[in-house]
Structure 1
């Protein structure tokens, strides 16, 4: 557990964690040793001179005070170390997620990452703050007490020690038998979380289909799976819990019978038997807590394993000797990119001179958006090379590459905050005047003026409180504020109403001015503004040229264009 915890947290936390564990172990041993003083205390109390017990009582009180001070220090250390590690783990987890390729974020991982990043991280840190001290105490305090019993009476000490391998065997057996159940419960939990997210995102579709009163079958099945997995895990844990309780009770009963036998034979006094039974009773409490603590530790270990699996996922490699692009022209040379068994981009070569605009068109599923993602190095190519300014993008530091690129997606995601905070994501250190100028260029100021809170208006999670066109204006203002020399646009006006489309087009025109632009587009107005057009088909460039040239050729582009313009011609 400790090794796994350190692997997840990082080796820089090894020293404070080991120091905390050592302090907890010392506390547990001192607690056990303090009970050794009960032997002379009870012996004197039941002897001929009870007053002689006072020095031992004072010593016992002093040892308890030392134990209390150590317990306070160890608990405080556990909380402080856990708090520090919590911040570190959040940063490490977030930084690592930001470096993973976009392809890693499959739909099945949404629920998993959501659980790990919220409840999972807190549960992992709860090991240090809440579980480690009880577990160490449950292991070391009874062993220390047994050592005291061995020193006092070897027969009864050995009888108590006989329970140790049985308890250990039960814990190992329970852990192994529960491993599969814990894994199943974790998997069901992740699946259910993903289904909840899916259900919430599907609300517009469900309501449009008049299914608001129906149960969502996939979500119901997932929640039922969580219930069944939890029930199976609970049932599986019962033999271990019962076995531990029976072992502890059998140990206590055996000590009672052995003590009575020895006392009747005159080998030990009644006071000594009573003392050993008191020590044995004190052993029982931490041993019985092992069942509950062990279950929580197994759950935490499952979470730690999930965190470790994410942190072990390979990010995109970084160059050992990074190079800065000398210019802002773009080039793909014999690029091949596969997603699973499917070849999305197949031996593609093209170039975009600095300051020119390239429009990418074609049917759905031909690799248009993937092309933009390769230019931004969201993925690494399987073959060939992508260059910016004559430099392989794999030789550029990711932060430097992102400084050169502004991206406006079709589906804009805004963070739950104010409009100004979302615009400032483009350049956090921008002045207020620069933010206002970018907003005006994107015609976002029109939106701000009509919102009740103005610049302080909250956009909601994902920008849910704004319309699609308003979110797009925020995205364009953000890109304008970034002022990057390369702009990537992904069908930014495909689903906008005429009013918002006109406003967004104005903002896009200002954004593209003087920059190297690659835009995925369907609208004629957008394509006509490009210096060159490439038509993709099955991951290859089927045709290439200006808009007018391609129409004159009467090839695939012209056919595609006629089909896409047919509804507009009939209006």
Structure 2
């Protein structure tokens, strides 16, 4: 445990932790020595030797003062260590989250991350002084006492030594029992947290579903599972503590039996026996306390295990020296990719010309959004190559790809901040005026004008104060401000009102200039004006490619798709007089 804590500590936290542990160990040894000095002191008192008792009392007092000083320094360094360790854990967590491939966040990890960042990190940072100190004391102090007892009576010391392996096995069993129970409980807590967060985010949809919706049942099931896991941990943990306490008490009973036998046989005087039995009690008490806190170590280990699993996540390969793309042309060559099961894309190849707009169309589930995620390097393909400017993305590296690509996806997330700051995040180095200019080009000024506070109006958590189309406008403004040479746009306008659809169309026109654009297209105007159209076949392949005019002239699948869309936009509801 100490080694793992040092691993996750910053240099400052590591120095503080080592210093704290030194004082904890010193205090435990001094406490054990103070207990040992009670033997000659009590023996002198029983024998009525006042002078010897006075001398031994002074020695005991000196040892007690040393113990108090060591314990005081341990507490002072303990507080500083907790703060430094908490900062280290949160910093390591943040750095690792930034390093993880975006694909790792495909599953909802909010409950896991929230658990580590709040209760988990806090518990681990306080553990060295609140728990580890008492556990170390619970074993070092009795160990000191045990060694010292050999100088007074080797037979009683040997009796206590025989029980040491039993106590160690019992403690390890107790810790393992707690660890397994807490791991199950932590998993249940993560699942319940995910469900509660999901429940809160989906309130607008759920309120239209009425009472007893599936979301209600999912949350209830997750909470019940958490309660069952917690009860199971309490039952198994309580049984483990009781069993360990029984083992410790048995060792004391064995010491009493052996001591009584020696006293009856006359091989040890009563004064020494009573002093050693007092020492035996002091030998057992810290061990019982350490056993009670063994579960705390298991709980802390669960958080460290979670951090270990994060550290073990395999990141996308990065080049030692990133290559430089010749231009911003995008090439797919025999690319195959799936999300762990059947491939979504199968051996697809196409080229998106630099500075042009490529529209991707096709049925739902055909892999349109997957193509944009591969370009953004959220994933690497299972087979084939995705290149920018003639260089495969693994040779460019994630940093180069991220700086070159501005994605605007359908599921836009806005921070609970102002409209302007949500745009500004696209390039914080630019001025307020430049951020407003980019936002105006994306028609975000219309949103700012209608909200109290204008550009400084809060958008709410996740952008809840804005409509879906308005959130997408803000996201497009971010892309404009980033001024990346490649823009990926999941232009999901099918469910938007006419005002937002027109505004997004104009924003697309504004962002198009001198950029390589990949658009998952839905608007007829966007499709028709694209420099190249790629139509997917719904089975992981490409059915047709070409310009709008070429594909219409071919009279194939695209022509039928176009005709259906045009006819659909002309539908009208019949009126009855």
**TM-score, normalization: structure 2?**
0.90
How far 1:142 moved relative to its partner?
1.2
How far did residue 489 of structure 1 move? 0.5
Determine the C-alpha separation between the residues in 2 that align with 1:344 and 1:386.
Answer: 15
Residue 306 of structure 2 aligns to a residue in which SS? Answer: helix
Q: Is the 8 A contact 1:472 1:492 kept in 2?
A: no
Residue aligning to 1:380:
380
Q: Within the alignment, does 1:72 sit opposite 2:72 as a pair?
A: yes
CA distance, structure 2, for counterparts of residue 34 and residue 454 of structure 1? 71
Contact residue 33 and residue 145 of structure 1 kept, 8 A: yes
Which residue of structure 2 lines up, in the alignment, with residue 474 of structure 1?
474
Give me the whole-angstrom Cα distance separating, in 2, the residues matched to 1:450 and 1:274.
Answer: 86
Structure 2: gaps spanning 5 or more residues: 573-577
Q: How does 1:236-255 map to 2 (within 5 A)?
A: 236-255=236-255
Q: Distance in 1 between matches of 2:562 and 2:478?
A: 32
Distance of aligned partners of 1:248 and 1:22 in 2 relative to their CA distance in 1, 3 Å threshold: same
Q: Which residue of 2 aligns with 1:500?
A: 500
Measured in 1, the distance between the counterparts of 2:355 and 2:206 equals 45
User: Contact 2:189–2:226 at 8 Å: present in 1 too?
Assistant: yes
- Say whether the 8 Å CA contact 1:330–1:352 is kept in structure 2: yes
Query: 8 Å contact 2:174–2:291 — kept in the other structure?
Result: no
Partner of 1:224: 224
Which has the larger displacement, 128-137 or 250-259? Answer: 250-259
- Superposed CA RMSD in Å reads 2.8
Aligned to 2:366: 366
Residues 1:397 and 2:391 aligned together: no
Could you tell me how far apart the structure 1 residues matched to 2:61 and 2:341 are?
72
Is contact 1:468–1:496 with CA below 8 Å preserved after alignment?
Answer: yes
Q: In the superposition, relative to structure 1, how do residues 290 and 350 fare at CA in structure 2: closer, same or farther (>3 Å)?
A: same
Distance 1:449 1:299, change over 3 A: same
Moved more, 433-442 or 193-202: 193-202
Partner of 2:122: 122
CA contact (8 A) 2:8 2:92 kept: no
In the other structure, the counterpart of 2:163 is 163
Name 1:146's counterpart in structure 2: 146
The CA deviation at 1:363 is 0.7
CA distance in 2, matches of 1:38, 1:417: 66
CA distance in 1, matches of 2:485, 2:213: 51
The CA deviation string for residues 525-549 of structure 1, in whole angstroms up to 9 with x for no partner, is 2223321111112222211122233
Structure 1 stretch displaced more, 482-491 or 347-356: 347-356
Shift in CA distance, 481/492, structure 1 to aligned 2, threshold 3 Å? farther
Measure how far apart 1:426 and its partner are: 0.9
Structure 2 Cα separation of the partners of residues 421 and 330 of structure 1: 31
SS in 1 for 2:570: helix
What are the Cα deviations for residues 161-200 of structure 1, in whole angstroms up to 9, with x where unaligned? 3332221121223344455433332332222222223333
Query: More deviation in 349-358 or 543-552?
Result: 543-552
Partner residue in 2 for 1:553: 554
1:387-536 matches, cutoff 5 A: 387-536=387-536
The alpha-carbon distance between structure 1 residues 334 and 16, as it changes in their structure 2 partners (threshold 3 A), is farther
Return the alpha-carbon distance in structure 2 between the equivalents of residues 129 and 562 of structure 1.
73
SS at match of 1:406: strand
Q: 1:428 to 1:225 in 2, by over 3 A?
A: same
Deviation, 1:24, is 2.9
TM-superposed CA distance for 1:380, in Å, is 0.6
Residue segments in structure 1 that go unaligned for 5+ positions in a row:
none
What SS does the aligned partner of 1:415 have?
coil
Q: TM-score, normalised by structure 1?
A: 0.91
1:227-246: CA deviation from partner (whole Å, max 9, x where unpaired) = 22222222223332222222
After TM superposition, give the deviation of residue 451 of structure 1 in Å. 2.8
Residues 439-487 of structure 1 deviation map (CA, whole Å, 9 limit, x = unaligned): 2222323323433344443333222233223322321222221111111
Conserved? CA contact 1:206–1:212, under 8 Å: no
Aligned residues: 571
Post-superposition shift, 1:368?
A: 0.6
Q: Residue in 2 aligned with 1:541?
A: 542
- Alignment partner of 2:336: what SS? strand
Retained in 1: the 8 A contact 2:174–2:295? no
Is the Cα–Cα contact under 8 Å of residues 323 and 391 in structure 2 kept in the other structure?
Answer: yes
Q: Please tell me whether the aligned partners of residues 111 and 190 of structure 1 are also in contact (alpha carbons under 8 angstroms).
A: yes
Distance 1:137 1:84 in 2: 23
> Are the structure 2 counterparts of residues 124 and 554 from structure 1 closer, same or farther at C-alpha, using a change threshold of 3 Å?
farther
> Does the 8 A contact of 2:142 with 2:287 survive in 1?
yes
* Cross-structure match for 2:101: 101
Following the alignment from structure 1 to structure 2, what is the Cα–Cα distance between the partners of residues 421 and 27? 53
- The Cα shift of 1:289 comes to 1.7
**Residues 280/152 of structure 1: CA separation in 2 closer, same or farther (3 Å cut):** same
Task: Name the SS for the 1:316 alignment partner.
Answer: coil
Q: How far 1:365 sits from its partner (Å)?
A: 0.8
Relative to structure 1, the CA distance from residue 295 to residue 533 in structure 2 (aligned partners, 3 Å threshold; closer, same or farther) is same
Listed one character per residue, the Cα deviations across residues 27-52 of structure 1 (whole Å, up to 9, x for unaligned) are: 32222122222223333444434365
